[in-house]
A and B are shown apart, each in its own frame.
Chain A
Amino acid sequence: MARRLMVLLFVFALVAAACSSDDSDTTTTTTAAGGDTEETTTTAAASEETTTTAASGEEVTDLRWRTRPDNDQEAAVYQSVSDELNATFANVNLVYEAGGTETEGYQQALLTQLSAGEAPDVFWIPGADIAEFASKGVILDVRSLADADAGFAEEDFYPGPMAELTTDPATAQAGGPLWGLPRDVSAFALYLNLDLIAEAGADDPRELAAAGNWTWDAFNQVVADVAALAPEISGYGQSSWWGPVGWWMNSAGGGFFNADRTACALDTEESLAGVAAFRDLYATGNAFTYGEDPEPVFKAGQIGMFQNGRWATPGIREVDFNFDVVKLPDGPGGPSNWAFWGAYVVNANTENPQASWDLVRALTSANVQAQVAELGANIPSRVSQDALDAFLTFTPPENNQAFLDGLSENPTTEAPLWNGDWPSYRDEMNTRVNAVVTGDLSLEEYAANICTDLNQFFD
């Protein structure tokens, strides 16, 4: 009997423990509707939306939100932001959940949770996923909430992302609904190993850019000069995803799609010129091995120029050589870059639409964006001069203006395909471009089939 009693007691204790909170970190301060500050205990350890009763007798509901931080330091800032904002929300307890990185399956976990109806109230998604989420009805159109919000103005944010965030899936035209607000933006720059460039006697790309002479030819010359230093030194490196090769196409005056993004444009003369230049750069042997991860090699001091986004800055700040950044060189099509972005969106099934919208607004406020951007991985998505001025102070690198130039000089906004299947298009395009660069496919064969095959991914 005693044994049974013990077993029962222990099982019940486990069940009760599943109901109990971790007292050490769940006592949070919540402002009640009347403005009084109340002490309340909530079940932060459980991931569900729970409702507890504050000492005042009013119900306090968990509002879960998630974003994908670039590193642990950024996750800590988001947690601290969540704690700060918590005090300003009435009857809502903010619960921040740090999502994993791209390789840790942020998207997969989110998709699974959405499918099971367990996703957070507010979450971050990459800009290219907006169409998929909006057309499937899993994110909330917050237009009515935004219209009722006197302090909100779409013009406060970069227009490219806002155009995508206001696109109607039915018509693929901007100006209708509102799917969320951009968390941040980013652009490519070239991270420079100044020591290597000086040792090679190459022209300083920053000076070339300042003089307006930073062109493809000048770029190729610096690459060649640096690569000539030693066999293990490369003049240029990039990670082999669609962003870098897309920039070469854009910079040549081409692009992935036609003007209204309803058909493939990879076989236009300009796009092919971009791919050809990209291939030729690798054919010289002056660039770091295509497909290999260049970041550790750049950090090891063996690459002169490393093309990457702002998100790489925290890691590169650790290098022990002199580094800075310069904008991407101007191609035949003029200055060009990408405007990368991601957005906070509201779960269509949230029980707290108003609080969720308020949270999105708070998370995209100038103050919060500045706190996150200070760590180095992000650029504020607001276009106010204050935000831009503040960003310039987040050094190193000294030449932060290079990123802002990238965002202001004819950037192509990272965008979903409202009339097509972007993941399939992207994967097939990557495979073909890889084959061209590695010499397994001639540019002529690539040009002959690429759009015939990829146009099938449009509706």
Chain B
Amino acid sequence: MTQADTTITTEPSTTSKSQPTWLIGIVVWQVILALGAIGLAIGMITGAVFDLRGVGLVLAVALALIVAFYALYSIPRLLAHRNAGRTMSTLLNYTLLVVFTVAALQVMEIFRGIDAVATNFRDQWQWSLIIIVGFLIYSQAYRFKKQEKTVQRVGRWVMIGGVAILAIALGLIPGTIEFLRRLIQPDALLLAGLAAASGVAFWLLRRHEATVLFETTVDQAEAVDGYLFVSPNVFGFLAFFAFPLIFSLFVSFTAWDGLTEITWLGPDNYIEIFSIQFATLGEGQAASDVLSTGYSQAFRFGDVIMGARDPNFWIGMRNIIFFALIAIPLATFPALFLAALLNSKIPGMKVFRAIYFIPYVAGLLGVLLIWKQLYNASIGFINYGILRLFDGINAVTGANITAPQPEWLSDPNFAMWSIIIFFAWFMTGYNAVLFVAGMQGIPESLYEAAEIDGASWWKKFRNITVPLLRPTTFFVVATTTILGLQIFTEPFVLMGPQLPPSGPNNSTLTPVVQLYQEGFQRFNQGYASALAWVLFIFIFGITLLYFWRQRRNEEAGL
């Protein structure tokens, strides 16, 4: 007999199928639940409850029917004392406990008051020191060998007292009164009751008595424990990642402004994005003379013009590819050499590592506002530095060279470069720290052996450091690429408010900037979602390419 077949109880299995009262209670609850879910579905279809239409209605009805089905489907298995019934019922009731609790808190508007928690805690944090003191007493109790238990007890009660005082300071008493006032509202009371019923059913099914009744094996019990352990992550994933992702995919096939009803379009948004046309300009012809209605010029190559129904998409893609080709190497190679320096065993090097990391941990907006001033063509320090540099050169050489004074943010030829420079500066320190971490994993013996062979610093760097850093380099390049292709804050802050984030002549228009403009300035949430998915597929494709290259290198032993 394997361990998997071993029940975790020594009591004889139930053969008569007599039903304990608690199991009858669970079955009754699930019948009520199923009937309620079916009633809810009918109510939603007829419009008696909730004002749902279209896909939202279909999804809500489907969910209600799934709950009803699942509740009914598990009943015969529960009554037959089969563990599958217990597992199904446990997971169903656990899920409903979470859903009903969250819904009750939402109806009671608890989530909206979260800022009040922060405000109150900010004002009352000092009371948490009592808890810390209690913890210190508790944790140091082992020093008092004879009175260890007593000291531990003291520490525990100090902590309990601290929690109680902090709770009162945070508004436990008035909050409890308000909580109860909101709880006795019909909606909240109903949801809280449903949550309580689900919770009780869940608790009953988790008891040892249920384990005995259903003859649950260790493996079966561990499987349910596993589901429960990962459930917070699963719920978080579903609520904050999967649902928005799938919803945005759905929205990308619609016309929706975020305010009024959704209109199904099918692939029209994607067709709009990818519709292009090439035409040759004749003598004295304008783009509109040779392009079909609805198309505008995106690019011009001599006499050939590329028209598109959404030229901004193509301009954005051109800009971001240019940005990536320049900015990613600039944020990677200098970081590698910087890391080589930072990895040396010179006193104080840790301070330098921290200094180079500062840009990354500093607030992006704050840093960008400083750079915006630095870039100012008239009163910015960068142009001032260039001016003084040329003054110096002229003074030393006797030449009369006019210092260039680039209009960093307003000249279409410089605007994207100013973003590239900032991005490279911002990412170099972070990437260098990653490289340093990678370098510290390279065995010292390899360098020692190379030194014995007379290898120079450069040869060691080229033949040991660089090849062995390949996994780190892959990570750095992949993450920098993903970040770079989604660039938004930089053009938004550096260009505005004098110019739109798309910059002079759309020179800093990136796909995410366009997405923002479509979604939040033109109220085209459907089209913005389609752009987001196209960008996602583009980035995903590039990332897959990196992975493919990395795997090929690994297979080739590089």
Residue in A45, A50, A105, A449 whose Cβ sees the most chain B Cβ within 10 Å: A45
Q: Known: A136-B259, A291-B498. Is A297-B506 also a contact (CB below 8 A)? A: no
Q: Inside 8 A of B164's CB, which chain A residues have their CB?
A: 9
* Interface of B: prevailing SS: helix
Contact A449 B520 (CB under 8 A): no
A319 part of interface (Cβ distance < 8 Å): no
Interface of chain A residues 86 through 128 with chain B (CB within 8 A): 102-103, 105, 107-108, 111-112, 114-115
Q: With contacts A115-B258, A449-B288 known, is A19 near B178, CB below 8 A?
A: yes
A434 touches B378 (CB 8 A): no
Q: Knowing A43-B113, A440-B412 touch, does A15 contact B160 (C-beta < 8 A)?
A: no
Shortest C-beta distance, A272 to chain B (Å), equals 15
Q: Contact between B498 and A17 (Cβ–Cβ < 8 Å)?
A: no
In the assembly, what is the distance between CA of A427 and CA of B123, in Å?
46
Docked CA distance A427–B521 (Å): 10
Chain A residues contacting B119 (CB-CB under 8 Å) are: 22, 45
In contact, B410 and A289 (Cβ under 8 angstroms):
yes
Q: Which residues of the other chain, A, contact B178 by a CB distance below 8 angstroms?
A: 16, 19-21, 43
Interface residues on A, range: 35 or more
Chain A residues within 8 Å of B498, by CB = 239-241, 291-293
Chain B: interface residue total (CB-CB under 8 A) = 67
Does any Cβ of A come within 8 Å of B500's Cβ? yes
User: Among the listed A18, A108, A232, A427, which residue makes an inter-chain contact with B113, where contact means beta carbons less than 8 Å apart?
Assistant: A18
- Check B407 for interface membership: any CB of A closer than 8 A: yes
| Neighbouring B residues of A47 by C-beta, 8 Å | 112, 115
> Once the chains bind, are A300 and B379 in contact (CB under 8 Å)?
yes
**Which residues of the other chain, B, contact A240 by a CB distance below 8 angstroms?**
410, 498-499
Residues A13 and B166 in contact, CB atoms below 8 Å apart: yes
Asked if A59 CB lies within 8 Å of chain B CBs, one says no
Q: Which of chain B's residues have a CB closer than 8 A to the CB of A232?
A: 378
Residues of A contacting B156 with CB < 8 Å? 2
Q: Which residue of B lies closest to A114 (CB)?
A: B259
Inter-chain CA distance A23–B500, complex, in Å, is 43
C-alpha spacing A169/B66, complex, angstroms: 43
Q: How far is the CB of B382 from chain A (nearest CB, A)?
A: 13
Please, how many angstroms separate the alpha-carbon atoms of A38 and B320 in the complex?
Answer: 61
Indicate whether A452 reaches chain B with its CB closer than 8 angstroms. Answer: yes
Chain A residues with CB below 8 A from B378, complex form:
232, 234, 288-289, 292, 297, 302
Is A290 part of the contact surface with B, judged by Cβ < 8 Å? yes
Q: Which of B118-143 contact A (CB under 8 A)?
A: 119-121, 123
Does residue A456 face the partner (Cβ distance < 8 Å to B)?
yes
Shortest distance from the beta carbon of A321 to any chain B beta carbon, whole Å: 15
Q: Are A452 and B113 in contact (CB under 8 A)?
A: no
Closest to A26 in B: B116
Given A43-B113, A292-B410, A438-B412, A18 and B175 contact (CB-CB distance below 8 Å): yes
Q: Which residues of B contact A105 (CB under 8 A)?
A: 520
CB nearest neighbor in B for A11: B167
- In contact, A449 and B286 (Cβ under 8 angstroms): yes
* CB atoms of B182 and A13 under 8 A apart: no
B209 within 8 A of A: no
Query: In this complex, what residue of B is CB-closest to A47?
Result: B112
Q: Is the CB of A22 within 8 A of B379?
A: no
* A-contacting residues, B451-506, CB 8 Å: 493, 496-500, 502, 504-506
What are the 10 tightest A-B residue pairs by CB atom distance, in nearest-first order?
A291-B410, A16-B175, A20-B171, A13-B167, A20-B175, A18-B113, A45-B116, A19-B178, A17-B170, A46-B113
Given contacts A10-B163, A18-B116, 4 further A-B contacts (CB under 8 A): A2-B156, A9-B167, A20-B171, A292-B378
A-B pairs with beta carbons under 8 Å apart, 13 shown = A14-B117, A17-B116, A19-B182, A20-B113, A20-B175, A23-B171, A103-B497, A111-B259, A115-B259, A136-B260, A296-B376, A423-B522, A440-B412
